[in-house]
Amino acid sequence: MAPSYPDISIVVPTFHRPEPLRNCLKALAAMDYPGSCYEVIVVNDGGSLMKKKDLMPPGTSMTLRVFNQPNRGPAFARNAGASKASGEILAFTDDDCAPSEQWLKILSMGLSWADTCAAGGRTLNQLQDNPYATASQMVVDYLYGVMNEIPVSARFLASNNLAMPKDLFLAMGGFDTGFNKAAGEDRDFCRRWVQRGYPMMYIPDAVVYHAHDLGFSGYLHQHFNYGLGAFRYHRRENRVSLKKMESLSFYMKLLRFPLDQPGIAGKLYLVLLMAISQGATAAGFLAGIKSAMGKGRFNN
């Protein structure tokens, strides 16, 4: 009997990154998945007008749909793409990512485990010579090791490598658009998914390659935004308290994480960057508290 493939809509939010987006679409056009069973939805979240004819990889017949909107942030863009999707499954990735050929097939197999399952895979840094991209990915890898130790009971899957049934995503209201930057909306979504009693599965073989070209200032800005997102996340849980933050051992193991990775150059510099990332995150968290207090909306 021939295998059955669910119809999948891949949503890609983008903002001012035309060349990485073209690389992403080239990878998506090469999926080892029946072409009639998946579509790609690009949501241009502000910036220059984008047209399908300018983005379609040459020599392919991939189903590509392009929507332009004013800048509202990646959470809003993902939700907008999901609302226009025709597939029964939603898959999310980012414009600076290149999913592997087997990505859709592996995710769809994981989702077949349960009707209410969400699934996500492993993201690999494609810019090995960029220490900021390397350190940024190491933070995520460390969190995956802590939160997804039991793959069939995962607790966190990043939005650049994530799939789930469309009807459940829409019923949950999608990503919280109050996270108006790329910081924390996926963590919040995963928390709400698990709280509903839905299973979440981490599948390392579903690989996405990430080419996040960061410099030092971009690295600081990214982790500052993570801190802002973390404040909103904890505030939504009504647990903004130092007593409820992660333990000291959590952060010590995070700082040691680069030293434990084989074949990585410049490990001591990466340890320093990991420490800097946590300082920037703490600064963002405190900025979130200050902003909320200034608006009279903070109750500890």
pLDDT score at 274: 94
Give percent above pLDDT 70 in the chain: 93
pLDDT score at 299: 53
Query: How far is residue 173's CA from residue 168's CA, in Å, rounded to a whole number?
Result: 9
**Residue at which a domain ends, from 180, 198, 213:** 213
191 plus 223 within the same structural domain: no
pLDDT score at 300: 47
pLDDT score at 243: 45
- The pLDDT tens digits of the residues spanning 204-243 come to 999 999 999 999 999 999 999 999 888 888 877 665 444 4
Q: What residue ranges of the chain have pLDDT lower than 70? A: 1-3, 237-245, 295-300
- Going from the C-alpha of 70 to that of each of 25, 64, 111, 158, the distances in angstroms are 22, 20, 33, 24
- Going from the C-alpha of 228 to that of each of 86, 223, 260, the distances in angstroms are 34, 9, 29
**Adjacent-strand bridge partners of 66:** 42
Residues 84 and 67: beta-carbon distance below 8 Å: yes
pTM score: 0.92
- The pLDDT tens digits of the residues spanning 256-271 come to 999 998 888 899 999 9
∠ CA 77-121-218, nearest 5°, is 55
Mean pLDDT, the chain, whole residue set: 91
21 plus 41 within the same structural domain: yes
Q: How many Cα atoms sit within 13 Å of 79 on the Cβ side? A: 19
pLDDT score at 244: 52
172 plus 278 within the same structural domain: no
Q: Is residue 148 part of a domain?
A: yes
Nearest to 283 by CA among 227, 219, 208: 227
Residue 148: CATH number of its domain: 3.90.550.10
DSSP single-letter state for residue 104: H
Q: Is residue 300 part of a domain?
A: no
Residues 161 and 91: beta-carbon distance below 8 Å: no
Domain that holds residue 140: 8-213
